[in-house]
Structure 1
Amino acid sequence: MEDLKKSLLADMRKMLKETQTETQKEVKKDYKEIKDEMKALKTDIRKIKEELMREVKEMVKTMMNEWKTDIEEDIHTQLIEVTDKIAGMERMMEEMMDAKIEARLSPMSTVLDQQNDTIKELTDVALTTARENEKINEENKRLSELVRKINEKCIDLEGRQRRKNLRIVGLSEGREGNHDPRKFFAKLLKDILDLDQEPLLGRAHRALRPASRSGAPPRQVIVKVVYDGVFEDMMKIIIRKRNLKYEGDNISIFRDYPAEVAKRRALFTETRRILRDIKGIKEIRYGLVYPAILRVTYEKKDLRFTKHTAALEFARKIQKKAEEGEEGEAEEEGADPTGVIDG
């Protein structure tokens, strides 16, 4: 009996195990089938979802387009209505403004017409005044040129009146004492210039101003020589002589020029100083010609300068050339009608 029980139990276990194995295989097979069906179902669901989304989007898009069209039509209709209303209001405002402007401009137009007439009259007056001013300007130019010529003639006449005058500078006040001025200064000129005889003087006097105070420069003496030949001889001696003295006073004697001529000649002082101090340049001579023309003879050329600026530039070029030790031809810039006249 025991063996039979064991045999039965073994068979039952074997059967149970086989049944369990077959059941597991079937379960696995069913699970796989179910899994494949679930996967296919998911795929179908995704496709259905995508189709639904596309349909929904198309529906939404269609609805939006319909709404947009409706809204645009409504807006367009309302805009037309608003535009018509605004245009009507603008027309009404323009009519009102035109009426008000017309009412205000009517008196102003009258005033403007009057002002236009006044402006026309003023324009005519201005044109007439301009023409008269042109004539006046032309007359002023003519008169200015005439005054210039008269001034030059006056200077020339003054120079001619003074052409035999000498100015004695540096003679102490009171040297002449109570003597006749003409005789005293005639003797003074004879002594300091070593003349053979006393020159005949037409007049002799101090500068016509109050006597100089103590320590101030003495007044100059003006003497007029009667004879031209005697005057020119005296000038030649004065040019040659240096360091003139009279009883301890250092004396200088110059031609008596008009004030304007003296100013013009003084402008050439720096140029003359440069020309005087130049060394190393041969055949250079210079001198002031009346009224105020610097004449320079250089390298067989005779140059005349009427403007001191051109003369000074020319002198500096020669000075520079002398300093560099050159002997070539100096450039003559400034030798034009504005400053230099070639002789």
Structure 2
Amino acid sequence: MTETPRDIQDDCGGEASTVANKAVLEGIAALQSNFQLFKSEIVEAIDNRLDQISTSIRAELTALKKETDVSISAMKSTMDDQAKTMAELERSATFTSDTVSQLQKDVEKLTSSVLQLTEKCTDLESRSRQQNLRILNIKEGEETGRKATDFIAHLLKNALSLETLPLIDRAHRSLRKRSDNSAKDLLRNRPEVRFGFLYPAKLRVTYNGEEKYFTDPVKAISFAEQHFGDGNVSTS
């Protein structure tokens, strides 16, 4: 069979088209290969980055967990201490409350006892004074040579006009030292004599325009007896 020019042209065109299609297919295949390679690189890069991020996050989370654990441990320790302190305070408050309650009861008992004792003491004091007498203005030395009880018994009998002597259990003067006024008694009621005491403890006597000072009571008595011992001594 003889080929015509058209047939030849068609054959050339078909071959060219086949070559072009093949080139396109090869280009597409190369593009697909490159795309797959690029995709693989991107995926690998993403995986690497994700691994880095995951490692970093894991490290940060681990560090944060450690810090949190330390903080929680410290907080737990503090709370345990506070719980112990609260328990001790509660025990102390309970003990104090019980002690105060007991003390209040004791105080009430003691107060009641004190009131009773006070009433008893008042009653005893009143009873002890029922038969007590206090006699005033008895000159010192009046009872000399006699028992105080006998002296008071005779004094009361005479003063109250009693038929018999009253029974005196005890008698005594007030607890005060007897004053020694012998020199003053000798000088008293003499208009020509003036006397007085000077501090410290001096007896000044002015007689016939002359002043004398005595610090020794014996010398003062001797002076008074020497000049005025005529028996006219006032003892009032």
Whether the TM-score (by the shorter chain) exceeds 0.5 is no
Larger radius of gyration: 2
| Structure possessing the higher relative contact order (Cα contacts under 8 Å, 6 or more residues apart) | 1
- Greater percentage in strand: 1
**Shorter-chain TM-score category?**
0.3 to 0.5
